[in-house]
Amino acid sequence: MKNYVTPPIDLRAIEEILGDADVIAITEHIAMFISEFEALLQDLKAAMEQNNRQIIRDAAHAAKSASVYVGATGLSDLLRNIEKQAPETDFSLLKGSLPVIDEEFESIRVFYSAYANNV
């Protein structure tokens, strides 16, 4: 498994959430997050295309909550910023956050792949 300076997912946070350190349960939890987050990310992107501040805020909030539940602190911080900035920030700046979110999500997928292959 690739050695991360700071992994994109906090496995201890997942253990606390699940109340279990079983690697199979953790692997399934991360897989479920990835599947669900893909839809949440598409919702956020669609909201950005609509230039609808309330929907952007709501979509960012939902995606942030999901990322907290899997210990993806970097991703949740990015989404928290969008959630806070949605009411007033220029749409082009909000949309400029999407590539960074995509990159962070991809790092979670890579991490998961490496983690799952070592189970």
**What's the pLDDT band for 119 if we cut at 50, 70, 90?**
confident
Q: 40-84 pLDDT, tens per residue?
A: 999 999 999 999 999 999 999 999 999 999 999 999 999 999 999
CATH number attached to the domain at 11-117? 1.20.120.160
What's the pLDDT band for 4 if we cut at 50, 70, 90? low
CB 53 within 8 A of CB 75: no
Helices assigned H by DSSP within 1-119: 11-18, 23-50, 53-69, 73-85, 91-96, 98-117
Residue 20: the pLDDT is 81
What is the pTM (predicted TM-score) of this model? 0.91
Hey, where are the domains in the chain?
Answer: 11-117
Between 74 and 119, the higher pLDDT residue? 74
